[in-house]
């Protein structure tokens, strides 16, 4: 067990809270006035981690905090306070009720790491979600209009490999996908080039909860935010009014930009995935 002195961990807590506040505070302010941001609030709605929880800094597996009995961590679930005031995660208690979920997350992450990365989908999943429908999901205007959007879908082979994107395809788009996807086969189909697989590292990080150091959680969150930006800039929606750009994936130039940014996200995701697996293996004593 590594024991951090107060002068070591207090700056880390402050830095984490400031880093999280960049995203959490605007979300809280929007909700207070009844507002909604269709791009960034997705990170709190689809991935249901409350802003206050994003600000929580965990030291991670095998790290204790000296002289910390006065800190909020001392009262958090699955933390224990020693007689000398040292605070640490009670790993045995945590794994008693979350162990199976931890194993499942690690199994999926390990499987993804063994798969080849593919970069030929060109973000068509978002287009498939509005194919031949009068009800776009995000309440945003379609950049090419309904007919132009449908034509883009018809002129491409849909190659989505991520079930949580595929499940939102319109009924007309589902049979156009190269592969029939299912939740049961997610570990077989998720691949490290997928923008949504990179984005999902944030989901797995917060599901692992106190096993994950706050810095790693924020690394995953910021990756998810960058993936979300690409997702929406390459989507059929016109997000320029929200301060985003356009990646026109219906053109050769747009496809090239999408793939370059997709590769960049995948390169950032790889070490984060490995770090998450390492935290689980440390927790399980492997």
| 249 pLDDT above the threshold of 80 | yes
CA atoms within 13 A on the CB side of 49: 21
**Can you give the pLDDT at residue 48?**
85
- CA neighbor of 160 nearest in space, from 138, 114, 127: 127
Q: Round to whole Å and give the CA distance between 78 and 91.
A: 7
More confident of the two residues 259 and 138: 259
**Can you give the pLDDT at residue 135?**
74
Place of tokens 């205007």: 141
Quick one: CA torsion of 26, 216, 281, 106, rounded to 10 degrees? 50
pLDDT tens-digit readout, 13-42: 999 999 999 999 999 999 999 999 999 999
pLDDT tens-digit readout, 89-115: 999 999 999 999 999 999 999 999 999
Pairing of strands 79-81, 2-4: unpaired
């Amino acid at each position: 067990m590594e024991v951090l002195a107060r002068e070591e961990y207090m700056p880390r807590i402050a830095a984490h809270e400031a880093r999280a506040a960049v995203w959490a505070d605007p979300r809280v302010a929007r909700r207070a006035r009844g507002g909604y941001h269709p791009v960034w609030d997705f990170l709190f709605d689809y991935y249901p981690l409350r802003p206050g929880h994003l600000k929580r800094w965990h030291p991670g597996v095998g790290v204790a905090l000296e002289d910390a009995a006065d800190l909020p961590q001392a009262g958090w679930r699955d933390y224990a306070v020693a007689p000398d005031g040292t605070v640490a995660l009670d790993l045995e208690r945590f794994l008693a009720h979350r162990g199976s979920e931890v194993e499942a997350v690690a199994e999926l992450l390990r499987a993804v790491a063994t798969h080849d990365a593919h970069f030929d989908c060109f973000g068509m999943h978002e287009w498939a979600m509005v194919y031949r429908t009068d009800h776009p999901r995000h309440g945003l205007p379609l950049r090419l209009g309904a007919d132009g959007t449908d034509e883009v879908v018809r002129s491409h082979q849909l190659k989505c490999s991520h079930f949580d994107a595929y499940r939102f395809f319109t009924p007309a788009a589902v049979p156009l996908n190269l592969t029939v996807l299912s939740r049961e086969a997610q570990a077989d189909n998720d691949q490290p080039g997928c923008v949504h697989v990179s984005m999902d590292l944030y989901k797995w990080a917060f599901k692992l909860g106190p096993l994950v150091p706050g810095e790693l959680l924020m690394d995953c969150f910021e990756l998810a935010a960058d993936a979300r930006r690409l997702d929406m800039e390459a989507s059929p929606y016109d997000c320029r009014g929200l301060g985003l750009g356009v990646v026109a994936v219906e053109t050769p130039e747009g496809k090239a930009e999408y793939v370059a940014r997709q590769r960049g996200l995948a390169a950032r995701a790889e070490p984060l995935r490995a770090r998450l697996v390492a935290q689980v293996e440390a927790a399980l004593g492997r």
